[in-house]
Amino acid sequence: MKTLQKVERIQQIKLGNILSPSGFKAAGVHAGLRYSKKDIGVILSETPAACAAVYTQSAIQAAPLDVTRDSITIENKLQGVIVNSACANACTGKKGMMDAYEMRKHAASQFGLPDHYMAVASTGVIGEFLPMDKIKAGIEMLCPSESIESAEDFETAILTTDTITKNCGYQAIIDGKVVKMGGAAKGSGMIHPNMATMLGFITTDAAIESQDLQAALSQVTDVTFNQITVDGDTSTNDMVIVLANGEAGNNPLTPEHPEWDTFVDLLRETSENLAKQIAKDGEGATKLIEVNVSGMKTQPDAMKMAKTIIGSNLVKTAVYGSDANWGRVIAAMGRSDVPFTPEKVNISFGEIQVFKDGEPASFSEEEAKLYLENETVVVNVELQEGDKSGTAWGCDLTYDYVKINASYRS
C-alpha cells in the first residue's frame, strides 16, 4: 500500500512523457519496416548519462540485448537509445549480431557519439533479419527535438500489437531541486516477466552514479515490471533502460543520501504506471486486473501468490465473463507453491466479499457481476498469517487474443 507521505512527495506531471526531464530529445519516423506506422525511434541526452538496464530472463536473448550490455559495460554511460519495431532481430545468428552492432554504429555516427554511448533495442517478429538499408535510411531521417510531438513520435515508433502509446511523468523535490522522471513503454503480448515482450525507457534529470541507479532499478523492477502478466510467455527482447543525466543539479544520490527513498519511490511510481499500462493493453484485453495479496509471512510469498492468481487463465476468463467465480482464485492459490492455511483465507472482488475464513460468503451475484464489468477489477486476498503483502497486474483473456496471435505474421 502507498503511504500518505509517499503520495505527497511524488507528484504526477500532467501530460508527462519521456521528455519531461531536462536535457533529453526524441524522435520517431516511418522507415518502411511496417506498412504505414512509424517504426524507428531514438532518445538522446544532451550529455553522457548514468545508465542502468534490466533484461529478459529467457535463455534465448536477441542480439540487441548483447549489444546494449556491451555499450554499458565499456564506460557505464549512455547518451542515446536507438529502437526499431516490426523486427526483433532474435534467433538471427552471427548476421543478426553484426546487424545490431551496425545499427549502433550508424546511429552513433548520425548523432556524433562514440559507438558505446548508444544502446540498441528491437521488437517485432522473431527469426527475421533486419532490413539494414531501411534501418540506416530511417536513422538518417531522425531529427530529435524536445517537443511533445517528438515524444509521441517515439512512443508510436516502438509499438507492435499495442493499441495505445504508453507514457507517464513524475517529479519530486530532492535537495531542494525539482527532479523529474519520464517514461515510455511498449508491450501487449508475450507478457510474463522476468520480463515480457516489453521495452521500457525511463529518463531522469537526477544526479546519480550508474551503480546506484542499477541497484534502484533492480529493486523496483521486482515489484513492478516483473509483477505483470498477459499470457504466460516470456519474450527474447525484453529490456528496461534508465538514463540519468544529472541536469536537476541535486547532490549525487546514493543509498546513504537522506532522500534516497524519495528517488526510489519516484522510480517505482514511474515503473508501476508503465507496467499497469502494459497489462491493461494486453492483446485483446478489455479489463485491467489487479490482485492484492495481504496477511502473508513474507513479501516474496505474497508476490508469488499474486502473480500466480493473475496468471491463471481460468481467473482471466472468469473476469472477462464478469463471473464471480472465487473458486478459480483459490484454485490458483493452491498451486502457487506458497504455504497458507485455507481456513484463514478471505477473498473479495473489490469490496464484495465472496469467501470468508475458508468458507463461502453470502453475496449478491448481481452486484458482483456489475462490479466485474468495470474496466479495472481488483481481487483482494487476505491470508491472516502475517503483515506482508504483494500486488500483481494482468488482464482478462478474450476471444480477440486468439485472433491476434493466430495471424501475427500475416
Residues with active-site annotation: 197
What pairs with residue 346 in β-bridges?
382
Angle ∠(206,210,211) on CA atoms, nearest 5: 125
H/E element, 110: helix 93-110
Q: Are strands 239-244 and 288-296 parallel, antiparallel or unpaired?
A: unpaired
Lookup: cell for 263: 528517488
**Cβ contact 179:9 at 8 Å:** no
User: Using CA atoms, how far apart are residues 327 and 12, in angstroms rounded to an integer?
Assistant: 38
Backbone angles phi, psi at 123, to 5 degrees: -150, 145
**Cβ contact 135:103 at 8 Å:** yes
DSSP three-state, residue 393: strand
Measured from the Cβ of residue 199, the count of other Cβ atoms closer than 10 Å reads 27
DSSP three-state, residue 57: coil
